[in-house]
């Protein structure tokens, strides 16, 4: 049996522009987690429920139980592009295992789905690790990250790879597409309140819409991406120097640029405004946008009051997290 847990994530700076080669900063959020347990469903006689293990289709011998999404089925019944099926098949393919043993995969997650907290990437990474450990062939972080990126393509279409990277390494990441992975140091811990609009969104759609804008006016939007990239680079320096209070205005600027990119929403803007009225140092949407989560930088002692104000303003849940 093998169990693996992975954190959620937030993007602090640089979403969307990161798809166009600019840097972005993302950090793990350990208050929410995806957990995958894989156990062998073996039997000395080679049969379970009358099923013969010599049966050719090994996928009929792998059960997937994911109660959070009401899924209880055999791998063979999932469509080839179903992310859980794709992960499982690609792990065994990568390991060169033609006929894996009978297994039960149990998946739970407290990471809200389709809300910018990296739930898809977290489940993929935990599943890759638990499966490969079960067959005593644990994959390296680099291999895990590469496989999870392939699965992200099913979720997102043209992902930058930031989600799978921060979740795999579970460290603050300064991410530039197609560049070696850089983690960064947090000079002094700081506090973020995450608030969920309750509006679930498809990153694929907002990324697609930004692409349409860009196709129509590449020169204009490249300038916006440059601005966002500049903010992300500056923010990294501030974080490393422990000057976290200076991040507030940078978050506000980044949010304004994301509004220009049309990826904010009335719900997100309202929570950002309420955060400002209740004492945040800066706030922005986080992730694909159009719904999902916003993040607000606060003094540690103000976090509960800001979280409460956000809940009163309609947030569906809040998480207070310490970035360190």
Terminal C-alpha separation, the chain: 32
Interatomic CA distance for residues 54 and 46, integer angstroms: 8
| Known catalytic residue at 226 | no
The H or E element spanning position 148 is helix 141-156
CB of 16 to ligand PMV, least distance (A): 5
Q: Which is nearer to ligand PMV, 23 or 288 (CB)?
A: 288
Among 98, 163, 217, 302, the active-site one is 163
CB of 32 to ligand PMV, least distance (A): 13
Phi and psi at 28, nearest 5°, equal: -75, 150
Q: Which is nearer to ligand PMV, 131 or 232 (CB)?
A: 232
Q: Which is nearer to ligand PMV, 6 or 134 (CB)?
A: 6
The footprint of ligand PMV (CB under 6 A) covers 11, 15-16, 18-19, 116, 118, 156, 159-160, 162-163, 203, 207, 287-288
Phi and psi at 298, nearest 5°, equal: -140, 160
Label residue 157 left, alpha or beta by phi (over 0 means left) and psi (-120 to 50 means alpha).
Answer: left
Interatomic CA distance for residues 19 and 291, integer angstroms: 19
Interatomic CA distance for residues 294 and 271, integer angstroms: 7
The H or E element spanning position 33 is strand 24-40
CB of 281 to ligand PMV, least distance (A): 22
Burial class (CB in 10 A: 0-12, 13-18, 19+), 239: buried
Side-chain half-sphere CA neighbours of 37 within 13 A: 7
Q: Which is nearer to ligand PMV, 208 or 249 (CB)?
A: 208
Residue 296 β-bridge partners? 193, 283
CB of 150 to ligand PMV, least distance (A): 14
Interatomic CA distance for residues 65 and 36, integer angstroms: 10
Q: Which is nearer to ligand PMV, 77 or 223 (CB)?
A: 223
CB of 50 to ligand PMV, least distance (A): 43
Give the residue numbers annotated as catalytic, written as ranges. Answer: 163
């Amino acid at each position: 049996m093998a169990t693996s847990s992975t954190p959620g994530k937030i993007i602090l700076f640089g979403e969307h522009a990161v798809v166009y080669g600019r840097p972005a900063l993302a950090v793990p959020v350990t208050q929410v987690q995806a957990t995958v347990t894989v156990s062998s469903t073996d039997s000395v006689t080679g049969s379970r429920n009358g099923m013969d293990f010599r049966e050719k289709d090994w996928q009929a011998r792998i059960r997937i139980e994911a109660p959070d999404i009401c899924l209880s089925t055999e791998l063979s019944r999932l469509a080839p592009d179903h992310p859980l099926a794709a992960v499982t098949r690609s792990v065994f393919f990568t390991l060169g295992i033609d006929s894996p043993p009978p297994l039960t995969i149990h998946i739970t997650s407290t990471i809200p789905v389709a809300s910018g907290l990296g739930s898809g990437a977290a489940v993929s990474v935990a599943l890759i690790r638990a499966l490969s450990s079960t067959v005593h062939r644990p994959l390296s972080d680099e291999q895990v990250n590469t496989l999870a990126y392939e699965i992200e393509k099913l979720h997102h279409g043209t992902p930058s790879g930031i989600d799978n990277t921060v979740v795999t390494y579970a460290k603050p990441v300064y991410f530039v597409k197609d560049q070696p992975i850089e983690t960064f140091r947090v000079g002094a811990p700081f506090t973020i309140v995450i608030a969920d609009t309750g509006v679930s969104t498809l990153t694929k759609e907002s990324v697609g819409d930004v692409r349409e804008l860009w196709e129509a006016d590449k020169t204009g939007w490249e300038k916006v991406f440059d601005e966002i990239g500049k903010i992300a680079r500056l923010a990294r320096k501030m974080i490393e120097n422990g000057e976290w209070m200076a991040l507030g205005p940078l978050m506000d600027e980044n949010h304004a640029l994301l509004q220009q990119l049309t990826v904010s929403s009335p719900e997100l803007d309202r929570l950002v405004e309420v955060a400002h009225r209740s004492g945040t140092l800066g706030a922005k949407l986080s992730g694909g946008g159009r719904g999902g989560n916003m993040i607000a930088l606060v003094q540690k002692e103000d976090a509960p009051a800001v979280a409460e104000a956000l809940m009163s303003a309609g947030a569906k849940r809040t998480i207070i997290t310490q970035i360190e």
